Every structure is written in C-alpha cells, then in structure tokens.
Chain A
Amino acid sequence: MYTVLSFSSTWDGVVIVVEKLSKRFGTVQILDGMDFVAPSNQVVGFLGVNGAGKTTTMRILSTALQPTSGTVTIGGHNVVEQPELVRGMLGYLPEKPPLYPQLSIGQYLEFLAQFRELTNPRKCIGNALEKVGLLGKESMSISKLSKGYQQRVGLAQALLHSPRYLILDEPASGLDPSQMVEIRGMLKALAEETSILLSTHLLSEAERMCTHHIILHQGKVAQSGTLLELGQENGGGFLSLSITAEGWNDGFLKRLADLDGIEKVCLKSSTIESVVVQVFTDQTTVQNVLQWCHQQDVFIDGYQWEEPSLEDIFLHVVGVEQ
C-alpha cells in the first residue's frame, strides 16, 4: 500500500533526499525507515495525523535533532556530517515561533542578522519584513503583537538570510482566515526562489498552498506526489451515490463492499430522505454498481464520478473512515 511515486521524471531538481530515516526516543520508534525526496522551487506539504513524525522529521532536517539512523541530504549536504553548511542555507520556523517577547521586531532581527554575519543587515531585515508585510513596524514590541503577526515575525527570521530552503512547521497554525490567505499568497511568491517544505493539519489549506504532498503514517511515508498523482494512485476517484432512505437497509454497505472491483465503501452523509455513499472503485465498474443496486431494489436519486480531494486521499491513505 505504501508507495513513493517517482519525482525525477517531472521535477527539475531534487533538493531534499531522505533515506531510511529512523528516530527512536527511548523505546518509542517515532520514525521508522522513512524515505522521500522533495523537489526544488515547490511548496511541498508534509501531512500526517498527530504522532506521524512530521515535527521530528522537520527537526532532523533543520539540524535541531540527530537521527538514530538513515541519511538526510539538503542541497547535496548531509545534515549530520555538514550541519554548518546546511544551517547557512536553511530557514526554519518551528511550530512555536522562536521569539523574544522582551525585544522589538527590529532588535530581534538585528540580533539574528549580526549573529549570521550578514553583509548588509539593514537591507536583509528590510527585505524580510517586506516579504512578510511588516515593513515599517520594526519598533513594535513582539509581546504586543497578535498571534498572526508573531507568526509573521517568526517567518521573517526564517527568511532573513534569503535561504534556499525553507522548513515551516505548521505556519498557518492559529491564524484567522484572512491571515491564512495572506500567508498562502506569501508562500506562493516565495516558492519562486525558495524550496519550501511545510507541515499542516489543514488539508484544505495544503491543497491550495502546496504543489506536492508527502503523506506520513506511523513514522513512514505512506504516499507522495502531486494531487493528480496521488488521486491516480488511489483509484483516480470515487463514485458518489445518493440513495433514497426507503430502499436503504443495514446490510447494504457490506454487500456492496463485497462486490468484485470495489475497494472500499464509506457512508458520507445521511438525512431522513436520502443517504450518500462513497464507493472507491474503478470508473469502469460504475455501470455494474448501478445495475446491482437496481437488482437490490435500491432506488438511486443520483450519482456522479468525483475526483478525490486531498482530504479524501489522506483519509483513504491513513485508513480513517469518514
């Protein structure tokens, strides 16, 4: 079931290569032989349920943590053997923005610019603040900023040295819808010159923001690819059946699932009048399903072949019934 699609045929370059990555904390195996590659100048979504290993992987990629085994290379540099090189070209925003509430935005970024020994700190700070929409707000105290603005300052510190690679752990967490739209636009603009790997729980946002997706499950990569590739990998879509409640009975779903060519059947919604069922199958079996329903005296209000959303694919891959 677990598949890593081939990226090399469709992407110009691969910037992050993860091979057999494992991480164990005591007796708990967080990552279990993870493999994936991420392409250049794309926004890659890192998806998974809580505990799937997203944050641990990102911490290893950002050199904040060392793996138990396996190799990770970013831009051709091994994160364990050449961490200083990786740190110089990587921007990292942890789940909780790393901020000093006692400082102003300007003081905070100035410290980081000086520490990174940037040749033109003023210009770098100006550029980073412009990208996150905070230009002119350098004197504001970080403690007085809203959560959305604090997230922007966190993003500005990650962008300060114009990194080639950006790793963002839940950048949209805690943002209101308008802020989310702004962050989405910002990341799309950044992706023109930066390779971005971001994790998020918001699948609808990931679908809008990311061009590629990596789905993690139980410390491994379950599937990865573009939305189209993932959809094809998961049967290319599903049949959505609307059935009148009169013809509905408890054994219907089980009998339908037992038919040849049916991978999975899910109950999507039900009202007093009708029931909507998702049938994961090949498009060629649609007529057989309709015919079978007719033979079972089940009246179908309507049906349509639907392309799967990222949420459908994610739930299908991690094995969660809707």
Chain B
Amino acid sequence: MSLASVSRQTISVLTKELQVAFASPLVYVFWFVSSLLVGLFFYLGLVVSSEPNLRLLTVNLALSNVVLMPMLGMRMFAEEEKQGTLEMMLTLPGSLWTFVVGKFLMGFLLSTMIVFSSVLCSLILAWFGTPDWGAIVSALIGQGLCLSFCLSVAIFASVLTKEPIASGLLGAVLLLPFWMVDSLGQTVDTVWVRQIFQDLSLMQHLIPLSKGILALSDVFWFVGGTGFFLWMTERVLEWKRCQ
C-alpha cells in the first residue's frame, strides 16, 4: 500500500471523525472548559510572577491535560467498539494505522484550541509590555507536545475498554504517574533510581520548554512518548483482530 493511499485513507478517517465530533456537545464543552482554564491560569500566572511569558500557564495546563485529554479521547475507540463499528473497521482493506493516526489528528486539531487561546494571551502580553517571544514560542511548542503526549495516552486507554467513562478514568490514571513521578523521585535516595524517575517525568521535560529552553532531548521525549502510545494502540487493535 502506497503512502499516498495511506494518506488519503487517513484524511477520510479524519474527516469522518470531525463530523462525528462536531455532532456531539463534548467538543463544545471541551473548548469552553479549556478556554476558561487557559484564561484562569494566565491571570493567576501574571498575578503570582508578573513575568511577561507563558511559563506558569504552560506548567499549570500540563496538570489540567491529565483530565482534559482523557475527556477528549475517551470515546475514540471505546465508542467504536460499543456501537459495533470497530468490527467493520477491522474488516476494511487498509492499515489500522490510518484509524489511529486519523483519530489522533482529530483530537490534536480540537485540542489546539488550548494553544490558540494561549496565543491570544501572548498578544495581550504584547499589548501591555514587551514579552520574550523566544520563550513564548518555546512554551507554545511545549504545550503542543504535551497535548499530543497526553492525547496519545488517552487514545491508548480508549482502545482498552468499550466503556467511554471507564476509558476516560483509565486515561487519567495512566497519565497521573507521568505527572507525579517527579515528586516521587525526590523521596528516593538512590541516584540512578531518582534519575530514572526524572527521565520519566513529564514536568522535567516540559519546564525547560516553558522557560524558553528548547532542548532536542525534551522534544524527542514527547514525540517518542506519543509515538510509543500510538504504536501500542495499533498493537492492541491488531491483537483484537487476532484474538
């Protein structure tokens, strides 16, 4: 199967996913809640630090992503299984990757509302002062990477169960360790164990980006993590076909 063919199939899945998503109130609720949180975190960040950047906003959004992304991704495969369309999906000619990537792209497009709201916050900063645009761009990249990582975990949780609510809860449970592992590492005395905990920590890789330090290792951590969970999703789908 050629790359062009896979791309066309992925676009058809993306289009269908967007049509299905916009027929549900979930998207609008998600947009409303996420915009509200961005506004709140932006205001609180300015009050606390008075820094003309998005550092605190980006860090605080990482925590809200633990809840928001599973909410967005919980229906993706769970609903397909519940309504019987997963079986059709497994019998269509084409790679299962087209469904995984198509759904991921749909989730990413919808969640970019968070990044878009953050861009508006940056413009407000520019209106009242002289922000560090390098740090702002780096923080926006960090937000996008963090969103994609959390979304991929949520999609993976969604393929594990056919109950959307259970999938949402499972997604949050899977994401929490990535957020908490940093604090846990600080309680460990052994250096190499602490290092492993820090390497696994989402915050350890996001905080530099939020400050304007764009390290490739951090970018690879998010991209690799996203790829790993999408790959796991595809594997579970393939297993469902073979079981």
Contact surface of A with B, Cβ cutoff 8 Å: 25, 59, 62-66, 84, 87-88, 90, 92, 94, 96-103, 107, 111-112, 114-117, 157
Contacts and interface: CB of A to CB of B under 8 A. Distances in A.
Contact of B84 (A62, A96, A112): A96
Chain B CB count within 10 A is highest, among A64, A66, A102, A115, for A115
B85 A100 contact: yes
Contact of B88 (A25, A98, A101): A98
B243 A94 contact: no
Nearest to A111: B16
B23 A103 contact: yes
30 contacts: A64-B91, A65-B242, A65-B243, A66-B243, A84-B1, A84-B93, A87-B93, A88-B93, A92-B88, A94-B84, A94-B87, A94-B88, A97-B84, A98-B84, A98-B85, A100-B16, A100-B83, A103-B16, A107-B16, A107-B19, A111-B12, A111-B15, A114-B11, A114-B15, A115-B9, A115-B92, A116-B93, A117-B5, A117-B8, A117-B9
A66 B91 CA distance: 12
Nearest to B102: A115
B81 to A, nearest CB: 11
A64 B89 CA distance: 9
Interface of B: 1, 5, 8-9, 11-13, 15-16, 19-20, 23-24, 83-85, 87-88, 90-94, 98, 241-243
Contacts of B93: 84, 87-88, 116
B87 A98 contact: yes
A62 B93 CA distance: 11
Contact of A64 (B16, B23, B241): B241
A94 B80 CA distance: 14
Secondary structure at the A interface, as helix, strand, loop or mixed, is loop
Contact of A157 (B9, B88, B94, B242): B88
B23 to A, nearest CB: 4
Contacts, number: 77
A111 B13 CA distance: 7
A62 B91 contact: yes
Nearest to A93: B88
A138 to B, nearest CB: 14
Contacts of A100: 16, 20, 83, 85
Given A99-B85, A103-B20, A107-B19, A87 B92 contact: yes
The 5 A-B residue pairs with the shortest CB-CB distance, nearest first, are: A102-B23, A98-B88, A114-B12, A96-B84, A87-B93
Contacts of A111: 12-13, 15-16, 19
Contacts of A88: 93
A64 B93 CA distance: 11
A66 B241 contact: yes
Contact of B91 (A90, A99, A114): A90
Given A87-B91, A92-B91, A111-B12, 11 more contacts: A25-B243, A59-B87, A65-B241, A66-B241, A66-B242, A66-B243, A98-B83, A103-B23, A114-B12, A115-B98, A116-B92
A128 to B, nearest CB: 15
A284 to B, nearest CB: 51
A115 B92 CA distance: 8
A59 B84 CA distance: 13
Contacts of A102: 19-20, 23-24
B87 A64 contact: yes
B90 A115 contact: no
Contacts of B83: 96, 98-101
Nearest to A143: B23
Contacts of A25: 243
B105 to A, nearest CB: 15
A115 B96 CA distance: 12
B236 to A, nearest CB: 15
A157 B243 CA distance: 25
